[in-house]
């Protein structure tokens, strides 16, 4: 935190509680000054800690108390363009509570709850992920897929605005697709990007798993479900192009593993892969340290590294710099390139979360499925 800001806090603290109230009321928190982000908390507590998901930093960073006041602060160095999700750990005696930052209105949701969010200098929420009144909305319909390998599965299917049975559409299958819609603005982004001609009108299958950590970890039943059940039944129900070049498969975390594993098992079936923050753990020597749930993942990735083959024609790979998975993703890219695959790789100053994945959708989708705008101007 800048010396001027420290002095400002201490001066108001000496003036009394009313002065601190006035100082707080006139500011937005956290305070972002260049690469410095200052978090502030006010309360009669024993300790305050910043709980974050930045790999490489201590998990809990302690706040400092301004002497003679109930105001606490913490300043950290944050690269420009960063986006951080966090909570505050507030300690009073033996009571430890994780809370949202009461001074910060910016939040992000995921299946586990809500986190506070701070934007570093230069970060902007993508406007194409926000509702556009000029973009005609697509429709999400329900579908049941009959499967011998996994049993009947309810799914959702995104149909673009102006959907016509007389046309043919490319198909994108998204693992955890309903979560992408709920937490990563997938439907809004599709509506906007189609409206702006950055991607073609397309059908998107939004699939969920009841046992994703098992099924997505290179489970052959899941690959069979995608290739033998899901896609053929979608091609019977909707007017799809029906060619590998018009088929995409994507997901984040274990969903990225499932996408690459299925494309590897059935090479030549999906030509477009969207792999976000893939949990591509591997070993060069000795055991891994990520627990038994990663055992089948490590076996798959180790085998893939020995013989990558040609799982797809184009792959868009992205990962957050603040993720523990960054090493695996960085290692995967040159392997894919040496195999002769067309790869675009992006990193972001963000963590393992849905809004990181949201922020990469425009580039990933428009590169894998370029719309009329890109076909004309690029």
Ranking 1-10, 19-28, 360-369 by mean pLDDT, the lowest is 1-10
Q: Among 9-13, 159-163, 187-191, where is mean pLDDT lowest? A: 9-13
Domains assigned to the chain: 3-119 (2.60.40.10), 127-377 (3.40.50.1820)
At residue 376, does pLDDT exceed 50? no
pLDDT over 50 at 277, yes or no: yes
> What confidence score (pLDDT) does residue 167 get?
97
List pLDDT tens digits, range 37-90: 999 999 999 999 999 999 989 999 999 998 888 899 999 999 999 999 999 999
Q: Would you state the pLDDT for residue 341?
A: 97
Cα–Cα distance list, 324 to 237, 305, 330 (Å): 41, 19, 11
- Which value, to the nearest 10 degrees, does the dihedral of the CA atoms of residues 10, 15, 18, 24 take? -20
pLDDT of residue 4: 67
Sign, CA torsion 235/207/215/293:
positive
Tokens standing for residue 11: 């001066």
* 362, 198 Cβ separation under 8 angstroms: yes
pLDDT of residue 7: 74
For residue 9, pLDDT over 90 is answered with no
User: What are the backbone angles phi and psi of residue 90, rounded to the nearest 5°?
Assistant: -110, 125
Q: What's the first-to-final CA gap in the chain, in angstroms? A: 45
Residue-level pLDDT at 42:
92
pLDDT at 254: 98
Query: What token pair was written down for 292?
Result: 């038994």
Q: What's the pTM?
A: 0.94
User: Percent of the chain at pLDDT above 90?
Assistant: 88
pLDDT for 309: 97
Residue 6 has a pLDDT of 66
Across the chain, mean pLDDT equals 94
pLDDT at 371 over 80: yes
d(CA 359, CA 188): 12
């Amino acid at each position: 935190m800048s010396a001027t800001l420290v002095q400002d806090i201490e001066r108001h603290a000496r003036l009394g509680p009313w002065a601190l109230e006035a100082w707080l009321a006139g500011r937005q928190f956290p305070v972002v000054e260049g690469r410095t982000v200052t978090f502030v908390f006010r309360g009669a507590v024993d300790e305050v800690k910043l709980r974050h998901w930045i790999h490489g930093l201590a998990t809990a960073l302690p706040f400092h108390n301004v002497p003679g006041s109930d105001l606490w602060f913490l300043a950290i160095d944050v690269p420009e363009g960063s986006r951080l999700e966090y909570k505050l750990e507030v300690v009073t005696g033996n009571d430890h509570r994780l809370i949202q930052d009461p001074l910060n209105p910016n939040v992000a949701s995921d299946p586990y709850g809500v986190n506070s969010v701070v934007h570093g200098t230069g970060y902007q929420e993508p406007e194409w992920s926000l509702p556009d009144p000029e973009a005609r909305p697509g429709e999400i319909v329900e579908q049941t897929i009959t499967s011998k390998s996994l049993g009947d599965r309810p799914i959702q299917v995104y149909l673009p605005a102006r959907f016509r049975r007389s046309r043919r559409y490319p198909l994108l299958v998204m693992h955890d697709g309903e979560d992408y819609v709920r937490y990563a603005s997938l439907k809004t982004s599709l509506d906007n990007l189609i409206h702006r001609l950055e991607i073609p009108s397309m059908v998107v299958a939004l699939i969920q798993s009841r046992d994703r950590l098992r099924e997505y970890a290179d489970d052959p039943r899941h690959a069979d479900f995608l290739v033998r059940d899901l896609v053929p039944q979608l091609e019977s129900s909707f007017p799809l192009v029906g060619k590998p070049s018009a088929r995409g498969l994507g997901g984040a975390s274990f969903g990225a593993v499932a996408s690459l594993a299925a494309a590897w098992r059935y090479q030549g079936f999906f030509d477009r892969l969207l792999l976000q923050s893939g949990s591509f753990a591997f070993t060069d020597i000795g055991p891994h340290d990520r627990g038994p749930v990663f055992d089948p993942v490590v076996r798959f990735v180790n085998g893939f590294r020995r013989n990558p083959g040609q799982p797809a024609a184009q792959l868009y790979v992205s990962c957050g710099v603040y993720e523990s998975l960054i090493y695996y993703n960085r290692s995967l890219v040159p392997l894919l390139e040496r195999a002769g695959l067309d790869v675009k790789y992006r990193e972001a100053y963000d963590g393992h979360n849905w809004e990181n994945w949201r922020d990469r959708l425009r580039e990933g989708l428009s590169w894998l499925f370029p719309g009329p705008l890109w076909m004309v101007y690029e």
